Amino acid sequence: MHLWNTFDKETLEKHLAEIGHKYITISFYQYAHISDPKAFRDHLYKTWMALDIVGRTYVATEGINAQIAVPKVNLSRFRELLYQIECLNGVRLNFAVEEKQDEFSFLKLKIKVRSKILADGLNDATFDVTKKGVHLDAQAFNDLTNDPNTLLIDFRNHYEWEVGHFEGAILPDVDTFRESLPFIENTVLKGNEDKNIVMYCTGGVRCEKASAWFKHRGFKNVHQLEGGIIKYANDCKEKGLKNKFIGKNFVFDERRAERITSDIIAICHQCGTPADNHTNCANEACHLLFIQCDSCKTKMENCCSDACINVIHLPIEEQKKLRKGKNLSNLIYKKGRSEALPFQDKKEKPLALVNQALKNSNS
């Protein structure tokens, strides 16, 4: 059998509709020492293909990071087979907060071997990513973030916290995880070594590596939200706890976000009205992901600019010529970073944001 997908999007959508599974979106990660990532990857691919699982997974010598959709009828078997793998026995599974049965979170199964499951820009052979900080459940997180001696840091990128974040969190204006590590250490943590450091991200994989790194760098009171925003939202709902997250939780699949609360804290990047839905520019040679209200979505034909509207009305062959040889993968999540968008996020500069948050935490 082929150990990779060979079909186009239309064929994949038709296939998923025909088999008629009701899927549940699951994410999980595990930092572990994997000696042969290629063999590990192939085993997962063959096992999961047999269960009609779709999604995106990265495997490396440092562990695994998975975002997948599992047919509900195969959930028990999936869990059974997963837990038979020694390093994944009992691994925490994060189930989607919001699941819409009329749309697919993923269309195909993609499992890739990488040098790291999370690109970090670090080059330190003495760093052990498994020596992590203290995990906090939802109640402990709420309690510790009520402490005025606590720094609450959003470890996601600017385009994620723009549509939803925790109350009182420091929101660094960064584009990547590797950019976050030095920025947060230099502008937030230095001089605040005596404070409680609490970090959160979508599912936990980023702040777990960050917590291990900051411990490695000598910081003592390092904590992370266990299971990230996904587990927190589910736990608050199930246990009747106060939910301190407002807005949407951005996710890296076809859904693009999960609604946590009804609050809309972002604005349309084209007209400035309250909005928090994302659109990929319909011009495949642009493909910018940005926030767009329903009115602008109709007026602009799912495009980010008039120039892109002109492109999508060209013959398909002309459009293909415009994007030939271009690698667009890095543009997809460059949300709000385009001069074509008149209402980009106009908040204060990153250092000012941090200083204000520190001032609030000290007051």
The enclosing domain of 200 has a CATH number of 3.40.250.10
Residue 143 lies in a domain: yes
The enclosing domain of 55 has a CATH number of 3.30.70.100
**What would the pLDDT profile of 87-105 be if each residue is shown by its tens digit?**
999 999 999 886 555 566 7
Domain count along the chain:
2
Q: Are residues 225 and 192 in the same domain?
A: yes
Phi, psi (deg, nearest 5) at residue 290: -150, 170
**What would the pLDDT profile of 285-327 be if each residue is shown by its tens digit?**
888 889 999 999 999 999 999 999 999 999 999 988 877 766 5
Q: Are residues 179 and 90 in the same domain?
A: no
The residue among 236, 230, 270, 235 whose CA lies nearest residue 248 is: 230
Phi, psi (deg, nearest 5) at residue 250: -70, 135
201 is catalytic: yes
**What would the pLDDT profile of 245-277 be if each residue is shown by its tens digit?**
999 999 877 778 899 999 999 999 999 999 999
- Could you say which of 201, 236, 304, 308 is catalytic? 201
DSSP state of 90: T
Residue 22 lies in a domain: yes
Q: In this structure, are residues 112 and 61 in contact, taking their beta carbons and an 8 Å threshold?
A: no
Residue 316 lies in a domain: no
- Kindly state the tokens that stand for 165: 């974040």
Q: Are residues 23 and 142 in the same domain?
A: no
Q: Is it the case that residue 352 has pLDDT exceeding 50?
A: no
**What would the pLDDT profile of 152-169 be if each residue is shown by its tens digit?**
999 999 889 999 999 999
Residue count of the chain, please give it.
Answer: 363
The residue among 256, 251, 3 whose CA lies nearest residue 112 is: 3
Residue 107 lies in a domain: yes
Q: Are residues 236 and 352 in the same domain?
A: yes
- 32: helix, strand or coil: coil
More confident residue, 37 or 11: 37
Helix (H) or strand (E) holding 30: strand 23-31
Q: Are residues 189 and 142 in the same domain?
A: yes
Q: Are residues 27 and 147 in the same domain?
A: no
Residue 76 lies in a domain: yes
Q: Are residues 354 and 228 in the same domain?
A: yes
Residue 280 lies in a domain: no
* Residue 348: predicted pLDDT: 40
Residue 88 lies in a domain: yes
Give residues with Cβ within 8 angstroms of 338, minimum separation 6: 288, 290, 304, 305, 344
Q: Are residues 180 and 214 in the same domain?
A: yes
Residue 306 lies in a domain: no
Amino acid sitting at position 259: R
Residue 160 structural domain: 134-242+347-362
Q: Are residues 229 and 357 in the same domain?
A: yes
High-pLDDT (> 90) share of the chain, %: 69
- 156: helix, strand or coil: coil
DSSP lists the bridge partners of residue 248 as 259
Q: Are residues 138 and 104 in the same domain?
A: no
**What does each C-alpha distance from 148 to 131, 144, 167 come to in angstroms?**
27, 9, 13
**What would the pLDDT profile of 180-213 be if each residue is shown by its tens digit?**
999 999 999 999 999 999 999 999 999 999 999 9
Q: Are residues 42 and 158 in the same domain?
A: no
Q: Are residues 357 and 215 in the same domain?
A: yes
